Amino acid sequence: MTGFFIGNLGLYFTAPTSTLCASMAKPAYKPQFLLLIGIFLCFFTGKSSQFGLETDEFWLNEEDSEVNMVQSRRDSSRHCDFTSGKWVYDPSYPLYDSNCPYLSTAVSCQKNGRPDSDYQKWKWKPHACSIPRFDALKYLAKMRRKRIMLVGDSIMRNQWESLVCLVQGVVPMGRKKVTYNGLSMAFHALDFETSIEFSWAPLLVELKKGPENKRILHLDLIEDNARYWRGADVLVFDSAHWWTHSEQWSSWDYYMEGKSVYKVMNPMIAYEKGLTTWAKWIDLNIDPRRTRVIFRSMSPRHNRENGWKCYKQRTPLAFFSHQHVPEQLVVLKEVLRRMRFPVYLQDITTMSALRRDGHPSVYRRAMGQEERQHSKDFSSDCSHWCLPGVPDSWNEMLSALL
């Protein structure tokens, strides 16, 4: 054990002297863009506390944030650019009923009293190609005997629930089950021998309690989370929002790297350090011949007062008055560029930034008739997504990539 003091605070910490895998010099080359898919079936009962996820206080976070968007650069001669397109109204959507039993309360906007439903009927149409309609049986057949895992924060969980509902209708009762293992849970489609899992790791690296219940974010430790990821055939990651929450919403009191402890650090420097730890783990532990890895770009929030608030928004935006590349995406691309492992970056930021109408807003919880008459007085969730809704298009894109 190693002991140390934090500045002049008089706090003494003890920590195990475990060492991460040694850094290795890596040739810098751009990740190959693999045609791949994560088929993620999950089983959800609608209570976040069942999965130990109640710490995700940012489900209701109302931080002011610019709408972030960016488009991926891709080899247009070989691949259609799914990130460049528009939302088109399609009355044949949604792809599943809003009464899907695996939706959590916070995204069940129809059940919670949202009066409009057109937000469910928009399909993403790339300019130079089309994304095939999601086919649940084909999707499951392609993932037969595979273990699929989605890893990240509550917005990844939002996408996970979407996948559950996209596929659950073709899996007969009695031929599906759900199992739990710590912060990981899995839906099993028995006839396909497929497990679709979700692993709660919003920062990817480890967040632990220290002396006096101080919360320590270990920028160079990851194995406590990564042990759940071993053996997966498809891994889909996201991590962005928790790194930039204001001090009021921060999940930690101190950063730690090696034996050094920091009270303050530039969030993007911390993010780069955390992602680098993740990248080293992937490079050293995952076999690209067996496992495909996707990193989904950040989901945009529409929290700004000057026209971006999501409350009572009914239609997508047709265009942007400005473009803003989020710092998180700049950092992520640079970390991916340095990796040996060919990670596919799925950019959903631009397409989702157009959908200010797709958030739960005040319909993140069920409201009585009297409350609905004063709904504007309640806080809005302009970060997560109503389901059916926008994450269904993310999953259609993933299916098309395979």
CA neighbor of 90 nearest in space, from 133, 122, 126 = 122
Q: Which residue among 384, 392, 393, 399 is the active-site one?
A: 384
Contacts of 302 (CB under 8 A, 6+ apart): 67, 308, 309, 310, 313, 353, 356, 359, 382
The DSSP bridge pattern shows strands 292-296 and 234-237 to be parallel
Q: Strand pairing partners for 206?
A: 218
Phi then psi dihedrals of residue 262, to 5 deg: -130, 135
Q: Which residue among 154, 195, 297, 380 is the active-site one?
A: 154
Is position 384 annotated as part of the catalytic site? yes
Enter the tokens of residue 105.
Answer: 């309360």
Is position 241 annotated as part of the catalytic site? no
Enter the tokens of residue 183.
Answer: 């912060």
Q: Which helix (H) or strand (E) holds 197?
A: strand 194-200
Is position 154 annotated as part of the catalytic site? yes
**Contact call for residues 314 and 355 (beta carbons, < 8 A):** no
CA 387 to chain centre: 15
Give the angle subtended at the CA of 285 by the CAs of 183 and 23, to the nearest 5°: 110
Rounded Cα distance, 110 and 98, in Å = 7
Enter the tokens of residue 120.
Answer: 């469910």
Q: Which residue among 56, 220, 357, 381 is the active-site one?
A: 381
**What is the DSSP code (8-state) at residue 361?**
B
Spell out the alpha helix ranges (H) of 85-177: 136-142, 154-168
Query: How buried is 238 (Cβ within 10 angstroms: 0-12 exposed, 13-18 middle, 19+ buried)?
Result: buried
Contacts of 10 (CB under 8 A, 6+ apart): none
Rounded Cα distance, 189 and 177, in Å = 7
CA neighbor of 313 nearest in space, from 388, 394, 380 = 380
Q: Where in the sequence numbering do the catalytic residues fall?
A: 154, 381, 384
